Structure 1
Amino acid sequence: MKWSYMDHWRSASPNGPIDQWQTLDSMDRFLKQVAAVGYDAIDTFDHRYFQIMDQYGSVSNYQEFVQERGLERIVNTFHAAVYDPRTYAPHVPETHANILEDFRVTMDRWSGISLDNIIVMPATLYYDMEPVTDDKIKTTAELWNKVGAITLDAGVKLTCHHEFFCGIQSKHELDVFYANTDPALVNLFVDTAQHCIATVDPVDFYEQYADRVTGFHFKDTRHQDLVGDYRRRPDAELMATTTPKWFHEMGDEGGLVDFEAFMRAVVRNGYEGWLSVEHDKANKLGGDHAESTAIARWYAKNVLDRIVAEEGSK
């Protein structure tokens, strides 16, 4: 198994924090740092397409830029849509035509390279969907079955990532959703921290749906949402009263995710795809993206990769 890095990033500059897309030089430094600590590839966000076109001319040109700095390729894109119940909301049938056309355009934009997955949050923010009913979840599932057919026709898997503030996040909601989606068209992308925050055990959840999992975000959390922070407007991650920082790197002393048990489950279920590390807002409270990225890679190499080797030798 190989490790990819989801490209959340901030670094210091004379003008304050910048992300790696600021200039070609900042992207060059970012990619070299990710490669230097041992990641094999990157994931990115779908909305970066416009910056890619402006700075590199094409998606394939950008991937060549990535490869020239020691990484294999771009593995996945995250389709971070701006959900709006008036125009773009999976539980609202009247918006489905707009969403389907969006994905036809999106797959054409990325056709210059071979992606494994296009990742989606399959529902609006929770407060825009509630009351979350089984009927709304079934309507949502109908949409993603259709989107999955579009992405599969383009050679890319559709996979669903459930943030703790997503309209589909509790165990019951997840079970209803996956019972009403076609396993051939709609896959699951397990985010260890997000499920843990939503009080869904990531190990048990992965074990239940392992045959539908096409990727992971490996990150940790020190907190579970027990007071309904997932409903906070406008951004549950920023407005929560229970913690100033939701996400931490693997190996964090206060982390709640049992990564060793999780990795044993991954190996036991025969997963053979990429593993992605993600660090949302790692720079909060004086944190540093480069440091978190290196720490997580150390943990992957010295703890998780050893588990893979041990389990494989049995």
Structure 2
Amino acid sequence: MTGIRWGYALNQWDTNIDAFVRKRDHERAFKTISISGFSGVELTAESFGPWEPLGSPEQIANLYGSLDGLRRVLTECALDGVSSYVYDPFIGFDVEMGRGHDPLDPEAAPRITATAVWFAEALAALGGEVLVVRPCGSAWQTGALDDDRIAALAACWNTVGAAVAAAGVSLALHFDFLSALRLDDGLARLLDATDPELVGLALDTAEVAVAGLDPVAVFERHADRVRHVQLKDARDVVDDAEALTPHAEQFVRTEGGARRVERWFFEPTDEGGLVDFESFAGSLARHGYTGWIVVESDQSPHPAESAMVSGWYVQNVLAPLTSAAGELSGSAVGKA
């Protein structure tokens, strides 16, 4: 298939450990996403056992009987399948709620690779195409990455990229606003150090914007490496000093930091956030991007409403702007 496909992330429904565990809740979300105009869903890897029934291939099979069982439910809800899985290697799956592995540790690469393949093979069964991964830890944990550590990360992700490609899945590195890659041009240096045939970029417009970067400029710089887009808005910027706050994942991202920011991410609209969505969509079209665009609205207090608002904006504003992408490129989905 060619062109752009629009998906929606389920993470905004999964707000608490027991908030999104029943099939009926899943089906309501699937149907809401479908009637809002989206054709796929994005899942997040989690290791809380039956309390995260979509968090791993094992838990999906436990609830739905098999991966095919979930695929059938998605089809019955008028969805094509799962677009992508988001996998953070720091989350462990050997032991429920256990600690994962650091990509900077060369000895961790085999286990990270094995887990990535586990998710990639599940993705292939669910109709998905992109494994989105967190490539390194946060800035406060590592500081700026020197050339040796960039090389270590590149070696890990090149290995993972080759392994998941065997399942027909692309690998895309996800930049988050607390990432060590925000320091000393780390993202560009890591992309330069990795094999472009094996390792791509998942561009998250809001994460980039919160880090003080222009999503359009980042896309223009790395358009040939973008394999996946996550679309959402933001209203507040986190500078390097704030990102370097100890335990920033909890203090800044979860608790809002010293400013007590209540919500970092918002639906894509034209109502005045940090992201210029129309310019971004135009850039996608000019570069002939083909692949999934997954809309997110993390932290939404009203998930169904956010999905419908986002669907209206996509169908009436963004999709017409990106429709030229399929005409500009004959590349396969996810190979922009």
Classify the secondary structure of the residue corresponding to 2:41.
Answer: strand
52, 61, 75: which is aligned to 1:67? 75
Q: Does 1:39 align with 2:42?
A: no
Count how many residue pairs are aligned between Structure 1 and Structure 2. Answer: 305
**Corresponding residue for residue 125 of structure 1:** 138
Contact 2:89 2:102 (8 Å CA) reproduced: no
Q: Is the 8 A contact 1:87 1:95 kept in 2?
A: no
* CA separation of 1:203 and 1:81: change in aligned 2, threshold 3 A: same
Residue in 1 aligned with 2:213? 200
| 1:54 to 2:67 alignment | no
Partner of 2:222: 209
**Does structure 2 conserve the Cα–Cα contact (< 8 Å) formed by 1:10 and 1:18?**
no
Contact 1:138–1:176 at 8 Å: present in 2 too?
Answer: no
More off after superposition, 130-139 vs 249-258: 130-139
C-alpha RMSD over aligned residues: 2.5
| 3-state SS, counterpart of residue 125 of structure 2 | coil
* Distance of 1:313 and 1:152 partners within structure 2: 26
Structure with the larger RCO, 1 or 2 (CA within 8 Å, 6+ apart): 2
Which residue in 1 is equivalent to 2:111? 98
| Residue 298 of structure 2 is aligned to residue 280 of structure 1 | yes
User: 1:168, 1:227 → 2: CA distance?
Assistant: 11
Question: 1:100 is paired with a residue of what secondary structure?
Answer: helix
Which position in structure 1 is the counterpart of 2:310?
A: 296
1:158-177 superposed matches below 5 A: 158-170=171-183, 172-177=185-190
SS at match of 1:82: coil
3-state SS of 1:280 partner: coil
Residue 8 of structure 1 is aligned with which of 7, 11, 17? Answer: 11
1:237 lines up with 2:232 in the alignment: no
Match of 2:125 in 1: 112
For 2:150, the equivalent position in structure 1 comes to 137
C-alpha spacing 1:204/1:40, structure 2 compared with 1 (3 Å): same
Equivalent in 269, 276, 279 of residue 251 of structure 1: 269
Percentage of pairs with the same residue: 28
CA gap 1:305/1:103 in 2 versus in 1, 3 angstroms? closer
Taking the aligned partners of 1:313 and 1:117, their CA distance within structure 2 comes to 22
Secondary structure of 2:61's counterpart equals helix
Q: Which of 239, 264, 269 pairs up with 2:282?
A: 264
SS of 2:112's partner is helix
- Report the CA distance shift for 1:172/1:17 in structure 2 as closer, same or farther (over 3 A): closer
- Structure 1 residue 146 displacement after superposition: 0.6
Deviation digits for residues 142-190 of structure 1, max 9, x if unmatched? Answer: 1100110001111110111111112212471111101100000000110
Shift of 1:309: 4.7
Residue 300 to residue 107, structure 1, CA distance change in 2 (3 Å): closer
CA distance in 2, matches of 1:28, 1:312: 31
Q: What's the secondary structure of 1:282's corresponding residue?
A: coil
The answer for unaligned runs of 5 or more in structure 1 is none
Q: Could you give the per-residue CA deviations for residues 277-305 of structure 1, whole angstroms, max 9, x where no partner exists?
A: 0111112xxxx111211111111111112
Shift of 1:231: 3.0
2:68 alignment partner AA: S
List, as ranges, runs of 4+ consecutive aligned residues in structure 1 with deviation greater than 4 Å: 108-111, 309-314
| 1:29 to 1:106, Cα distance in 2 relative to 1, 3 A | closer
TM-score (structure 2 length as normaliser): 0.83
Cα distance, 1:11–1:191 mapped onto 2, change above 3 Å: closer
* CA distance 1:62–1:308, shift in 2 (3 Å): same
Q: 1:146 maps to what in 2?
A: 159
In 2, the alpha carbon distance for the partners of 1:38 and 1:104 equals 30
